[in-house]
Structure 1
């Protein structure tokens, strides 16, 4: 297996260097053959398209400037902020975003668990995850759990987090909001980046992160880019060998001055040992040990996308997005959930996915007394999933298939929104509506039993943004959200209804001076028929009513007496309540009341100093709010913790090349903290201890 990844590394390096040579050669020939007139035309189409293309998307470009005008709570983490903070995983990147909780199951970053505003983060089931506006989940309607995260942070330019209701434009499963990972754009001039990052853990274990990128416009019409990222090594914990490979090829064709085609293809593969959870006894003995030698995770995916954009002279825009993937992932594990009890069987849960989606969208303007921007869109998505669970006796080798299920899903949606621009564009009111039709089919290949579950729903929404003055922006919104019945839930009952929630949000952004930015947001969402698991005989029922409410604050200050210094803090208070069922009146699990993040960044010449920290209050791991930990560690409180990261970065020039070096320390004070395990691995799941991060980047 390791040899295969070594070959992948060598192949990726060859591809990057060869493609880089080709890009420079073609670009050079184009420059020699082109005239000054062609050279000027070369700049104009890209600039024109870049300004126009983004407005058809409801969120618009992932920039801090755009986020400040969004009629809802929204945070954008820029490429500069990611680089300066030394963020290696998605947990590091999202640490400073208010209301977002990330628990890394692997310790390396390939299995993040993400929740927003008190929603259960396990498997990231209740957050809509996108890459360049395209759903990243293996089955965005039928299995919203993110059990394969086909992304590496080096390929990311920025991260856009829109919390609250955006259901009209982005579909189901976004009661907590949308997280959009924006990948690196194709540069106009051919360029190349090489980056090597070494993470050094206690005991001397190393994790190497090798990244190469080459790309640019080979002529005035065509841009190409290749990215290759390889992770290989081991963390401080035993049984944590990690191998990840990520190859991405993107293209951008400027068909005319008014139209463009963007296409991309990705191959992602991961093969990993999972150290798993520990019992309290084992945790106290050595938190870096592993008592689950049978636990592994493997996954791979081939993903493709094709987008056509056309921009009319009238300002209207047409966009047609097509995407699909063919993926597989497999967990292998022992049959004992208590890590201190040896397993008698080895089990595996392989899944195969085939998904295709298409989404046309048309946006145009009206000016009949009142300026309006109208968006019309539709989506069709097809999901096919083969779902197996099997086991093998460790004593006899006997093999048995316990589940062999087939799921199919056809989802149709259309949506309409109309933005009214009033008071000289200072007030924007956007009512909208979305209709979802989801037809879910299930067949048990072992018994021949089959059933279906159709779902229909209207999702209305209203967004209001008001520029009250040059430094005050007010916003409010309300949306209805839904999460369709999941594949595994239909195996118990065919008459389940989708989970539904109502979102409410209101806030103010205030910039009293050019050096201060503040935001205060109040939010609430109510589930009225949340799906709850009763027991193995009954299965799931629409029993659940739940309430999430709270407040978020953000503050950033760049003091004038100290140029280059920036201080930022974000605080979130969340209160949750189960409002029906056995545990009515108790808090929801995995929903800490308090979250406080802080960031200090200082730029001076070629140097940058960064210190960032996160405080998370304690929470319960179960709906019963159990305060006494059980023997396996699967149930009990999740203690509060505070963790700090620090990094110093230096940039220099050598032979017309930029060299960036950095030294960072994650978990600066070696804080000992954990959360409770996921799925098959129950108990205390340790978070990574102190590690040193060394990185060097060469930009050509």
Structure 2
């Protein structure tokens, strides 16, 4: 705690004299090609990656977009960001299940309460902004309120005739087509959008085969003005087919050939579809402004993948492939040895995890801006009734390795999971932003009432649970001068418990933050210290974390945990003639440890001793962006550093062959305006072609994306 706030006292002594009136802390805009003014008043820590930055780098990978923001932890998996793993302020990044994920203020996770693992994420190509809320600023955005929330902002309906045609191509068979058109349609305003992204993949499968993906997203919005209000209908569709696997490599194979994939993963394939319908109404009401939304999302996925070996745990084989017993299994995995049809111990176990999700709800928020003399109030009241469910049907079959390819044998298959989890939640919140002089005080309260049910058809068991939580919080901002503001806050955070885990214990923590923002001759400096005091940290077992079907989605209660850290940022811009040089740097230091000893079947914990460090949390993470822009052209260089992360709780140096590598990745983007409507763009990811382990869970070492390049054209009208 003392370390986390040490830097604040130093800058406090350097503060300037007070001014009569100064603005409160605003939402910081992360931009790399020029400065942008803050566009929202926020008490606490919040950031916006703006449209200019998104278009400059044109990332498809949300992981890379969020690398610009301090306090965000990202665990890569496939190199393309197909299934982002996002954590905020020490919250576990596995499948982004401890972060509230939103698109335009509406939950987009397949089942945010009953199965929060986020296997679906919208393409960033459709977005014009990405907001990140942490600390008391996240209290309006549940259910996950400990780390915070990520809100993706899609393109609005402009009401005038306009459009975008964007086409890109690149290495490894990369291709992207993005079409967007909008304009009046009778008495309506309409926007239609379609994005297609594909790649042949950068990994090389033993014996040849596909390792790439294809994704499509389509969105239609129809808006109609209602006097002083507006109604908007949104229809969406998305799909993906990807030849992705959880099977990695042994340590020796990774260091020799990191882009290799074993033959045992040749059949691995993810196939999913998403449908969404949403209706928004904005209208004056009771002297305030109402925004009401009804939504429903359906998501179906089937992932056929290598699960294990029948005769030995795959983790043991990958950890010690040189032993006489494991050599046989290793040769089977790699296709160097055919399996014995009369011997089942060398069977490859391959199954399909088939899951169907539905997420529906209605929500509304009403905001009043009131002023009386020296006081002003920005009051917001909101509520959401939400229901989601997941149906799991998992199977598993035996395969022999024959001629370097898995071939299904005559052994009978098995159903390994057949269950349904459901949650119905009523959430309500109230927040008042009170402004008097140089002070802004924002007390808030959130209440969650949740009913869950779980039906395990294989075991013939089921259970129901009901619980409620009250989550208060307050944020304070003091504008000491026109350039220097101090802020701080405390709030109680929460993460829902897992249906089917017996008596559900939700995750709860009291979270503190304090910091400053200084806008002066040296640019903008932001420094924030945070501290999270968990009374109970939880984790839900996922296959991506290495859990078997018997433990899948079961909850571990890890007890008391302490997480502390510092987030720092600086940005400025310099001009020389027609050239400008924008610069930005962000840095995050995090220290998290368990305060209780326990044992868990969850492989990211196993045997935990008091004082052990949290898995999936890097101690250091930094990003620097240097831009050079001209009225006709611009270029940006992004450098990201992430220190090594544990994949199992522990202390001391991370053992060799465990955890991710520390790495530095450099990306370069550039653009050239041929006319007011036509622009050429290009980008090189991992310019230095660094090789590094991004994940070892569930099975072996897997690589980050190697050097890749793409060129494209943008036409706007």
The TM-score normalised by the length of structure 1 is: 0.84
Cα distance in 1 for partners of 2:67, 2:139 equals 28
Residue 170 of structure 1 is matched in structure 2 by 141
State the SS of the aligned residue for 2:139: helix
Are 2:412 and 1:386 aligned? no
The residue that corresponds to 2:191 in the other structure is 225
Match of 2:502 in 1: 494
Aligned residues: 619
- Aligned equivalents of 2:454, 2:126: Cα separation in 1: 37
Instruction: Pick closer, same or farther for the CA change 1:226–1:60 going to 2, 3 Å.
Output: farther
Report the Cα distance in structure 2 between the residues aligned to 1:300 and 1:397, rounded to whole angstroms: 31
Judging changes above 3 Å, is the alpha-carbon distance between structure 1 residues 366 and 661 closer, same or farther for their aligned structure 2 residues? closer
Q: Equivalent residue for 1:138?
A: 110
CA contact (8 A) 2:27 2:41 kept: no
Q: In the TM superposition, what are the counterparts of 1:613-632 in structure 2 within 5 Å?
A: 613-625=639-651
Aligned to 1:78: 50
Deviations 1:447-497 (A, max 9, x none): 43111121211010101123222212221121111111123xx2xx42121
Alpha-carbon separation, structure 2, partners of 1:208 and 1:626: 44
Tell me the equivalent position of 2:513.
505
- Give the secondary-structure state (helix, strand or coil) at the position aligned to 1:459: strand
Q: Given the superposition, is the C-alpha separation of residues 467 and 222 from structure 1 closer, same or farther in structure 2, using an over 3 Å criterion?
A: farther
Q: Are the counterparts in 1 of residues 76 and 694 from structure 2 also a CA contact under 8 Å? A: no
Q: Deviations over 1:411-433 (max 9, x none)?
A: 1111222222212xx32211111
2:7 aligned residue: none
Aligned match of 1:272:
242
Distance 2:294 2:140 in 1: 16
| Distance in 1 (alpha carbons) for counterparts of 2:561 and 2:88 | 15
Aligned pair partner of 1:399 in 392, 400, 413: 413
**In structure 2, distance between residues paired with 1:89 and 1:66:** 25
| Equivalent residues in 2 for 1:187-336, closer than 5 Å | 187-200=158-171, 205-218=172-185, 221-238=187-204, 239-256=210-227, 258-276=228-246, 277-291=248-262, 292-311=265-284, 316-336=288-308
Equivalents in 2 of 1:600, 1:541: separation in Å? 43
Deviations 1:230-269 (A, max 9, x none): 122312213422011111111221111x110122111001
Corresponding position of 1:24: none
Aligned counterpart in structure 2 of residue 558 of structure 1, from 559, 573, 577? 573
Cα 1:104–1:233 change in 2 (3 A) is: same
Which digits, 9 at most, give the CA deviation of each residue in 1:33-73, with x for residues without a partner? xxxxxxxxxxxxxxxxxxxxxxxxx9899996446742112
Shift of 1:199: 2.7
Matched, 1:524 2:541: no
Q: Which residue of 2 aligns with 1:55?
A: none
Q: 2:666 aligns with which of 635, 644, 654?
A: 644
Does structure 1 retain, via aligned residues, the 8 Å contact 2:174–2:710? Answer: no
1:372 pairs with 2:377: yes
Q: Determine which of 592, 603, 614 is the counterpart of 2:629.
A: 603
Measured after TM superposition, the shift of residue 565 of structure 1 is 1.0
Structure 2 CA distance for aligned equivalents of residues 125 and 311 of structure 1: 35
Query: Which of 480, 491, 495 is the equivalent residue of 1:483?
Result: 495
Question: Hey, what does 2:4 align to over in structure 1?
Answer: none
Per the alignment, residue 326 of structure 2 pairs with none
Change (3 A) 1:315 1:564: farther
Query: Which deviates the most, 231-240 or 521-530?
Result: 231-240
Quote the Cα distance in structure 1 between the aligned partners of 2:97 and 2:474: 25
1:232–1:244 CA contact under 8 A, matched in 2: yes
The secondary structure found in structure 2 opposite 1:129 is: strand
Q: Which residue of 2 aligns with 1:588?
A: 614
- CA positional deviation for 1:319: 1.5
1:686 alignment partner, one of 693, 703, 709: 703
Structure 1 residue 587: deviation in Å? 1.0
Report what 1:660 is aligned to: 679
1:210-243 residue CA offsets vs partner (Å, 9 max, x unmatched): 1111112335x52111111112231221342201
Contact 2:73–2:617 (CA under 8 A) maintained in structure 1:
no
The answer for the alignment partner of 1:348 in structure 2 is 352
Deviations 1:152-202 (A, max 9, x none): 1211111111222345311221311111110112223211211111231xx
Deviations 1:75-119 (A, max 9, x none): 211111122234332122122211222233222222111122232
Contact 1:187 1:217 in 2 (8 A): no
The alpha-carbon distance between structure 1 residues 290 and 537, as it changes in their structure 2 partners (threshold 3 A), is: closer
Q: Could you tell me whether the CA contact under 8 Å between 1:186 and 1:217 is conserved in 2?
A: no
Q: Distance in 1 between matches of 2:630 and 2:287?
A: 43
| Structure 2 residue 638 is the aligned partner of structure 1 residue 612 | yes
Partner of 1:50: none
In the TM superposition, what is the alpha-carbon distance from 1:543 to its structure 2 partner?
A: 3.7
Counterpart pick for 1:363 among 364, 367, 372? 367
Pairwise CA distance, 1:668: 0.6
Superposed CA RMSD in Å reads 2.5
Distance between the aligned counterparts of 2:593 and 2:39, measured in 1? 30
User: How far off its partner does 1:315 sit?
Assistant: 5.3
SS of the residue aligned with 2:254? helix
Change (3 A) 1:527 1:299: same
Distance 2:561 2:237 in 1: 40
Counterpart of 1:51 in structure 2 is none
1:451 aligns with 2:463: yes
Tell me the distance in 2 between the aligned counterparts of 1:223 and 1:62. 30
CA distances 1:301-340 after superposition (whole Å, capped 9, x unpaired):
101111111125x851112111111111222212224464
Give the Cα separation in 2 of the matches to 1:420 and 1:74: 18
1:366 is displaced (CA, Å) by 4.0
Partner of 2:716: 699
> Does the CA contact (< 8 Å) of 2:143 and 2:496 recur in 1?
yes
Evaluate the alpha carbon distance shift between residue 543 and residue 588 of structure 1 in structure 2; reply closer, same or farther with a 3 A threshold: closer
> Does 2:429 match 1:415?
yes
- 1: CA distance between counterparts of 2:44 and 2:370? 24
Secondary structure at the aligned position of 2:75 is classed as: strand
Q: Which has the higher helix share?
A: 1
1:62–1:139 Cα change, 3 Å: farther
1:103 equivalenced with 2:75 (yes/no): yes
Q: 1:248 to 1:505 in 2, by over 3 A?
A: same
Q: How does 1:466-477 map to 2 (within 5 A)?
A: 466-477=478-489
Give CA-to-partner distance per residue, 1:285-316, whole Å, 9 cap, x none.
3211111223221111101111111125x851
Matched, 1:439 2:446: no
**Structure 1 CA distance for aligned equivalents of residues 30 and 664 of structure 2:** 29
